[in-house]
Chain A
Amino acid sequence: MSEIHLTLPLHPDTARSLRAGDILRVSGVAVATAGYPAHLRMAQGVRDGIPPPIDMAGAALFHMGSLSRRDDAGVMRPLYVNPTTSTRFNAFLPGIVRHFGLTVVAGKGGMDEDGVAALQQTGCVYLSMVGGAAALLTEGVTAVEATGWDDLIEQFRLSRLRLDGFGPLTVAIDAHGHSVYHDLTARARARLPAILDQLAKDRGG
């Protein structure tokens, strides 16, 4: 399957044109954090009408931590990035997706049913990164343009990242309510009786 190259942030119509299973490379701008406290602050900000320190309207939110240092040219460059598990933030994500009109959430592990509904309503896709592939994923991040909530530890801060050919990313939940995670879990559960029968045969029982 060929990779689709897109520039972030997406227009909601572009997000809606994608289908679960599509493979992407992305350039442009994403807002990243790996932090539970950052999600807590986002959710409190939504409730209290306090904007986050980095604009998130229509943004691509990446569940990804990073460590950066300023290079000789004065540009903040990531020494490494790494995706984190999105399902940790399930409780916060539907409200955040809807309030900011996010067009991409990316990370690993997916989102729950409430999250899938929020993506569908908003015109937003969930993109799966390859966890543990820090060395190659980092090559797709060219700069850390800004950070916010700098009182938090580095991987928990909000960071605005400049991307160039970042990926590959799999569209794991599309904007039409189709979740690869949901489908695979349902299929595994449906297969379970047959799998257990095969185990019984293999045991000779």
Chain B
Amino acid sequence: MAVTYQAMKDTARTLYERALKRIPENSHHALARAAATERSETGRNTLNFMIASARQAETRGTFVCSDAGFPVYFVKIGTRVRFDGDIKQAITDAFADLVDTIQPPILKFVTNPLTGERSYRGKDMPHVTWDLLSGADHIDITCSPKALGSGRWAALEIFSYPTLEEIERYVLEVSIRAGSQHCPPVVIGVGIGGSFDHAAKLAKLQTLRPFGSTNSEPILAAMEERLTRAVNATGFGPMGTGGDTTALGVHIDYAAGHGFTPVAVCFNCWINRRSRALIHNSGRVDWIE
């Protein structure tokens, strides 16, 4: 048995559609918890409207946010996985198939940065990050379509031997710069250390972590808690019109590096688009989210 081109294509396509038409249950719970404690009446109403609209999208099989963004996948391949066909091409073909068949149709969002032209295809589309899983006999694939609304506000700065204070101040500054703009309440991903590219990847991956999951690094677990409180003390609130709930969580990872320390900060908006599945050698597909 092996993971086939067809299984990869079908799964990648379905993951994109799931990411567009529902929000993770984990996000539903986080939004509901926030609505229960939010002190701003408008903020509370906004959170409840978000929850209701997301449920409506799910019930009717339509889009939560109808900006479909562009396709972004994270693929971890078990070292015991066997392939039958070109699984890289399968992801490219999955997006083309989605464009041809999804209902309602998606609009053109893939943008050429040099010409401004919009299309359903483009250079380096879909964005795929490949990784390996030691000993596993499955592929772990996450889809997280990305759009301008929250994507625009990510930032990265290179520090030299920063203190935790400097790192935390930077996360707050980037959050205040984003202000009301990124469809809060957001999840904030932070990557510390490594290299320019690695810190950005760490930050992005942290936006995919479920709310309530515990950071295995105690220093970061404590930083996540205090930064979540700090960002929410800014007061931008749901949809940035005021309130206690600006971030549903701050998730942080780090990597060893050298004396220079990149700190990357990025955001996912409240719909927190994320879907995930495992494809086994046996052909079985487990839908995780």
Contacts and interface: CB of A to CB of B under 8 A. Distances in A.
Interface in A1-36: 1, 21, 23, 36
Nearest to B52: A136
B271 A128 contact: no
Nearest to B169: A196
Contacts of B148: 84-85, 88
A135 B107 contact: no
Contact of B165 (A184, A188, A200): A200
A82 B240 contact: no
Given A130-B49, A153-B108, A155-B107, A65 B240 contact: no
Given A21-B42, A23-B42, A191-B233, A131 B239 contact: yes
Interface string B97-125: 00000001101100000001010000000
Contacts of B237: 184
B286 interface: no
Contacts of B172: 192, 195-196
B41 interface: yes
Contacts, number: 166
Interface in B160-181: 164-165, 168-169, 172, 176, 179-181
A81 interface: yes
B105 A67 contact: yes
Contacts of B242: 180, 184
Contacts of B105: 67, 79
Contact of A137 (B53, B60, B239, B240): B53
B226 A202 contact: yes
B73 interface: no
B57 A135 contact: yes
B233 A195 contact: yes
Contacts of A195: 172, 230, 233-234
A137 B114 CA distance: 33
Contacts of A194: 233
Given A67-B107, A132-B271, A195-B172, A188 B236 contact: yes
B56 A135 contact: yes
Interface of A: 1, 21, 23, 36-37, 65, 67, 79-82, 84-85, 87-88, 108-110, 128, 130-138, 153-155, 168, 170, 172, 180-181, 184-185, 187-189, 191-192, 194-196, 198-200, 202-203, 205
Closest 8 CB pairs of A and B: A133-B53, A132-B65, A135-B57, A82-B66, A188-B234, A135-B56, A136-B53, A202-B226
Interface of B: 41-42, 45-46, 49-50, 52-54, 56-57, 60, 62-67, 104-105, 107-108, 116, 118, 148-149, 152, 164-165, 168-169, 172, 176, 179-181, 183, 222, 225-227, 229-230, 233-237, 239-242, 269-271
